[in-house]
């Protein structure tokens, strides 16, 4: 299945976290499955906070990009489009709240699962969790808003 981030328009595809056109980036990929966003991510050995544990800033970054794609997916479903097939609308983050429930061990692949809890015309709220080997390590809540036209490369600024 095509990731939602791979269907962003070109001028919205440079994000360090998830843009397919950012050659230095993390390339977070969100797939749409049964009404939720699902992503897998393998942290690099240098993505640590203390030896053996995943860096919180990386977890916040993954949560951010995954939630933004989930906000887009939920909006698409609400408007009759198909996430992973149709172009993905670009949201940006208004607010990012991350609770580190326990240290996240470095080694296994991370699983991110997310769901929109509130879908407005301009604003979508997303809840998500990060799991390692079935254990919930991180919970996050993200408020996403449609990218303002002033942020488009083609829209000035």
Among the residue ranges 76-84, 115-123, 124-132, 142-150, the one whose residues contact a second copy (CB under 8 A): 142-150
Q: Which of residues 60-89 bind a second copy (CB under 8 A)?
A: 60-62, 64-65
CA 39 – CA 53 distance, rounded (Å): 19
Binding a second copy (rule: CB under 8 A), the pick from 3, 5, 17, 37 is 17
Other Cβ atoms closer than 10 A to 45: 8
Residue position matching structure tokens 């254990």: 135
Q: Binding a second copy by CB under 8 A: which of 34, 50, 80, 121?
A: 50
Subset of residues 80 to 139 that bind a second copy, contact rule: CB under 8 A: 90, 92-100, 103
Nearer to a second copy, 65 or 69 (CB): 65
Q: Which residues have C-beta within 8 Å of that of residue 92, sequence separation ≥ 6?
A: 68, 144, 145, 146, 147, 148, 151
27 with 43: CB under 8 angstroms?
no
Q: How far apart are CA 124 and CA 141, in angstroms?
A: 11
- List interacting residues with a second copy (CB under 8 A): 11-12, 14-17, 22-26, 44, 46-53, 55-58, 60-62, 64-65, 90, 92-100, 103, 147-148, 150-153, 157
């Amino acid at each position: 299945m095509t990731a939602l981030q791979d269907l962003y328009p070109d001028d919205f595809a440079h994000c360090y976290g998830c843009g397919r056109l950012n050659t230095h980036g993390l390339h977070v990929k969100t797939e749409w499955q049964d009404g939720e966003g699902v992503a897998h991510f393998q942290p690099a050995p240098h993505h640590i906070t203390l030896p053996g544990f995943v860096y919180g800033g990386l977890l916040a970054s993954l949560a951010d990009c995954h939630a933004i794609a989930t906000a887009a997916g939920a909006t698409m479903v609400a408007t009759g489009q198909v996430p992973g097939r149709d172009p993905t609308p670009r949201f940006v983050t208004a607010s990012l709240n991350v609770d580190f429930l326990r240290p996240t061990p470095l080694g296994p692949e991370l699983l991110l699962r997310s769901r929109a809890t509130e879908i407005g015309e301009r604003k979508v709220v997303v809840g998500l969790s990060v799991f390692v080997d079935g254990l919930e390590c991180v919970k996050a809540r993200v408020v996403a808003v449609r990218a303002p036209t002033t942020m488009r490369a083609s829209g000035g600024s």
